[in-house]
Structure 1
């Protein structure tokens, strides 16, 4: 038997050492503070998913998971920052779907490719959108609302939580299907959009049950229709769009966890496992119940397939609606 050359031995030892180091990284993670980037302002729907998850991870793993809200650019600024972070499991992203599966079709230029530069970890929440109006709008149902908007001759404004968000594109889909002329007023997140809706500065918006339920319960906004396939147990008296005569409108806001591309698979697997544990705990289950979300925790592989399918779906909606932000 021939002896291995010294060069070949060195390569084998180097490969073995790299495998051991990756495995050790996964076993030891986390050994220091983990930054969880949320590319939206504080208080928005992504925070509603990120904060209980980060709290649970902190308690379970004995290391701090710190939220870093980096708003701007329709979620692109904070998301881009994560794509540039070290792929070691110490910088994570929790975001709505917009910068992942919508913005690449909506923006003519993107500084990053989310499908190539991020690794999906798990879905966290999936909630339907509710069409709500300021109580001053004299419409009790979808048919009356469409008639009222048409009577305004283009002088009707709606808010969204940002260009390219599901809230924005679902509004565009609604306008296209119902042949409505409305002015879009984008905000940097749900919280400021809702604030202006409550103040009467805008008349209408779509938002997730996650963000809008407290204001519906308080009677500060009027629910008209919900974008899910069936009625929500949170709003049993609010019809679906299909029931109200527009079956073309079915849409959900989802929120997921991602890591920079090239994060070792063993590390991704451990982050996923720990996140799923938190999602099954009472504190997170309470969030799901309050937001009308089913349990959507999944494997990284299945979540990746879901993200790819969502990107194809929203690309088609963007193209058909003609929506653009630059």
Structure 2
């Protein structure tokens, strides 16, 4: 009788899990982007959401919740009901913002452990760009100009400790530069500021800047990768130029609130694999200038943990920002 009871209990649990996976989603699933439209997370998130809509046949609206370099939107999802109906398309800065809060004497609005990694869609190094009207044509020109005009060369970002700020802070430290940081609420406004002549340079993921490089509006000078970036093969890395510590990747990944049932996570992960394999999605990623780098399961978890540990070290080295 005991064996029968145990078998019945196990069978019931398996049936419940299977039902949860098969029944999800039964209504629209919100995908939060913690930045305004036009930034890297938004540029990747929109084709992912469109593909999920085709797979699930339910609406997957994008909700942009900018503020505090992404902390507000990240925290909103971290504290949302763990049912799979609120997802986060996050940037790499998600892992460093809680440490930045601690460095500045604040209680973090969330911790990375409050968010469960599901799938990585892209992981590209940031790219340093200037307007083509700028007399600066190479990274050597850029460094010489910034050294000659301390405090006058300005760059925009998505906020303090954001994925657009940290790489520029790395370069400033490595090259001994004093530059003017002008933070905005997201990568979209930061790019608009550069295109509008409000600032003189920007470190961005390749997706948002690629159309402007192709159109001739922006000139890439260097990247923060270990190797040269696909599509930017003529652009040197900062490591090549003698700055071994200037390595930064702006990755975009899908997360759910921690505690979301395992069958629901499995369903979203399975659907994410289908998204990555879909020809229409691949075309959309290529058109937006993003390199598809899909990882899930242990592969994403390992990448995520290693990158998070490195970014925490970077934040501690940057220290408190007044």
TM superposition score normalised by structure 2:
0.91
Match of 2:109 in 1: 111
* Alignment partners' CA distance in 1, 2:295 and 2:232: 27
* Alignment partners' CA distance in 1, 2:9 and 2:77: 29
* Alignment partners' CA distance in 1, 2:202 and 2:291: 23
Alignment equivalent of 2:26, drawn from 4, 17, 31: 31
> What displacement does 1:31 show?
1.0
* Alignment partners' CA distance in 2, 1:294 and 1:44: 15
Correspondence list, 1:157-306, <5 A:
157-290=154-287, 293-306=290-303
Contact 1:54/1:65, CA 8 A, preserved across alignment: yes
> What displacement does 1:294 show?
4.4
> What displacement does 1:135 show?
3.4
> What displacement does 1:43 show?
2.2
- The answer to whether the aligner puts 1:132 opposite 2:150 as a matched pair is no
Contact 2:152/2:179, CA 8 A, preserved across alignment: yes
Higher deviation after alignment, 165-174 or 16-25: 16-25
> What displacement does 1:247 show?
3.4
> What displacement does 1:20 show?
3.4
> What displacement does 1:191 show?
1.2
Query: 1:256 and 1:158, CA in 2 relative to 1: closer, same or farther beyond 3 A?
Result: same
Q: Structure 2: state its 5+ residue gaps.
A: none
Contact 2:211/2:289, CA 8 A, preserved across alignment: no
Contact 1:34/1:89, CA 8 A, preserved across alignment: yes
* Alignment partners' CA distance in 2, 1:235 and 1:14: 57
* Alignment partners' CA distance in 2, 1:80 and 1:222: 35
Match of 1:76 in 2: 71
Q: Structure 1: state its 5+ residue gaps.
A: none
1:274-311 CA-to-partner distances (Å, cap 9, x unmatched) read 11111111122124434555443223333222222111
Aligned length: 317
Contact 1:125/1:288, CA 8 A, preserved across alignment: no
* Alignment partners' CA distance in 2, 1:321 and 1:173: 8
TM superposition score normalised by structure 1:
0.90
- Pick the structure with greater CA Rg: 1
Match of 1:89 in 2: 84
* Alignment partners' CA distance in 1, 2:226 and 2:271: 31
- The answer to whether the aligner puts 1:313 opposite 2:313 as a matched pair is no
> What displacement does 1:15 show?
7.7
- The answer to whether the aligner puts 1:47 opposite 2:42 as a matched pair is yes
SS of residue in 1 equivalent to 2:311? helix
Contact 2:92/2:249, CA 8 A, preserved across alignment: no
* Alignment partners' CA distance in 2, 1:296 and 1:234: 14
